Amino acid sequence: MSESITVRFSLHASAKQIYDAWLDSAAHTAMTGSPAKASREVGGVFTAWDNYISGKNLLLLENKKIVQSWRSSEFPEDAADSVLSIKLTERQGITEVELEHRDIPSGQGVQYQSGWIEFYANPMQKYFSAASGANTIKASKRSVAKKTGKKVAKKKPAKKAAKKAARKTVKKKVLRPAAKKKKSTAKKRGK
């Protein structure tokens, strides 16, 4: 008897970004941190995690859904391919990803459920948050500039400002008393 699992997680990325990354060899590799070969064609074959996973694209609904036949090197030889359905639902720049994985060989469902989280959901969150973090900063500066009609000045990094302030403090406290000591030493010698 086969097993089915569902994993849901949200990403700070558009459905288009996730869809495109899943079906692009270089982006899929970067997104998961392991070698992948992908296809954007129905019937196109793919591999992921250095050939641990292999399959074929069965259905592609642009930016909405990807359905793939899917098997790992741990499937019994006589086992049929499982079916992976990736549904993307975007709301206000955040996309819910729903992975429905069915027809998994008996006894393997739990390991694939934890695998989807450890080897896909977690790395994808890092990948897309890093990408969106840079875009969010640029976008917020642009939106401030649009609202105020002014150019947004670049702020000095906090470390540089702190170092500069510390240098001034050190000069005031260390150099000035030392200069006074030299004068007072000279006066004492003159007496």
In this prediction, residues 154-175 reach a mean pLDDT of: 46
Q: Are residues 175 and 98 in the same domain?
A: no
Q: Is residue 153 part of a domain?
A: no
In this prediction, residues 8-13 reach a mean pLDDT of: 95
Q: Are residues 165 and 142 in the same domain?
A: no
pLDDT surpassing 80 at residue 176: no
pLDDT of residue 173: 41
Look up the domain containing 182 and give its range. Answer: 159-191
pLDDT surpassing 80 at residue 67: yes
Mean predicted lDDT score pLDDT of the chain: 80
CATH number, domain with residue 58: 3.30.530.20
In this prediction, residues 59-67 reach a mean pLDDT of: 98
In this prediction, residues 62-69 reach a mean pLDDT of: 98
In this prediction, residues 141-168 reach a mean pLDDT of: 47
Residue 53: CB atoms within 10 A of its CB come to 21
- Provide the domain count of the chain: 2
Beta bridge partners of 72: 53
Beta bridge partners of 83: 69, 102
3-state secondary structure 83-104: EEEEEEEEECCEEEEEEEEEEE
The residue ranking higher by pLDDT, 117 or 158, is 117
Q: Are residues 46 and 138 in the same domain?
A: yes
Residues 123-140 as b or e (16 or more Cβ within 10 Å = b): ebbebbeebbeeeeeeee
pLDDT of residue 23: 98
Q: Are residues 142 and 188 in the same domain?
A: no
pLDDT of residue 123: 96
Cα separation, 91 vs 52, whole angstroms = 33
The residue ranking higher by pLDDT, 87 or 152, is 87
Q: Are residues 139 and 178 in the same domain?
A: no
In this prediction, residues 110-137 reach a mean pLDDT of: 84
In this prediction, residues 107-112 reach a mean pLDDT of: 95
pLDDT surpassing 50 at residue 182: no
Q: Are residues 91 and 165 in the same domain?
A: no
In this prediction, residues 74-83 reach a mean pLDDT of: 96
